[in-house]
Chains A and B, each alone.
Chain A
């Protein structure tokens, strides 16, 4: 199975900060990765498709990137509405696997 190691598990940042969350894949997944945002009590919402493509309606302060087996979700300037859990998902190979999630809090 492909393991997705997500870090950090939690973090606290100030409004306006640049925030980066990372998932490392244990095997090659190409760009077959989705980033989700999940607010408390809500269903997940896809933010980034195919590692780097912004989903419809997602603010441009969000971006996705890849460096080898490391995939990153970056928020360029943190806003209060970005407080949420973030999850990555690889869909290159079955079984599909999620990262363990990152809880993002606002200082």
Chain B
């Protein structure tokens, strides 16, 4: 069974930083691209970042609205993907989802990040 579990959310002050983790199991992690998607309260979905697998040299891609403040990374030995977000702003308040592959076929339950003083 595919499982995806995000951790690391919480309350952060504006200007702060946060590292989200996504632990996976139940599939061959090495074969898959991984994504982060976020959803602000009451709003639609926003793609944040994607990291490809080793076959594609772990290439990374980012939403322009976050580029320069966000870094996606992965550790294939731990079947995990990470999202480092810095210079956090109120508008970064959202549920952050980790999702599998080019087809976004499996999603975690999401982790809430609240940016507030």
Known: A43-B97, A49-B103, A91-B102. A98 touches B47 (CB 8 A): yes
Q: How far is the CA of A97 from the CA of B64 in the complex (A)?
A: 11
Q: Which residues in chain A, 44-95, are within 8 Å of chain B measured between CB atoms?
A: 44-46, 49, 55, 85, 87, 89, 91, 94-95
Is A96 an interface residue when CB atoms closer than 8 A count as contact?
yes
Task: Count chain A residues whose beta carbon lies closer than 8 angstroms to a beta carbon of B.
Answer: 22
* Neighbouring B residues of A85 by C-beta, 8 Å: 44
B45, B46, B64, B102 pick with most chain A CB within 10 angstroms: B45
Query: Known: A94-B61, A95-B62, A98-B44. Contact between A43 and B108, CB under 8 A?
Result: yes
- For residue B44, which residues in chain A have a CB less than 8 angstroms away from its CB? 85, 87, 98-101
Tell me whether B62 and A44 are in contact (CB under 8 A).
no
Q: Which residue from A38, A97, A100 sits with its C-beta under 8 Å from B47?
A: A97
* Chain B min CB distance to A49 (Å): 6
- Could you tell me if A96 and B108 are in contact, using CB atoms closer than 8 angstroms? no
* Nearest A residue (CB) for B64: A95
Whether A44 contacts B107 by the Cβ 8 Å rule is: yes
Partner of A44, one of B45, B63, B64: B45
Q: In the assembly, what is the distance between CA of A96 and CA of B64, in Å?
A: 10
- Rounded to whole angstroms, the CA-CA distance of A38 and B45 in the bound complex is 10
Please report the C-alpha to C-alpha distance between residue A98 and residue B38 in the assembled complex, in whole angstroms. 11
What is the 8 Å Cβ interface bit string for chain B, positions 18-57, against chain A (1 contact, 0 not)? 0000000000000000010100000111110010000000
Interface residues of B, Cβ cutoff 8 Å to A: 35, 37, 43-47, 50, 61-64, 97, 102-105, 107-110
Q: Please give the residue numbers on chain A whose beta carbons come within 8 Å of chain B beta carbons, in ascending order.
A: 1, 34, 36, 38, 43-46, 49, 55, 85, 87, 89, 91, 94-101
A-B interface, 7 closest residue pairs, ranked by CB to CB distance from nearest: A101-B44, A43-B107, A96-B47, A98-B45, A94-B61, A95-B63, A100-B44
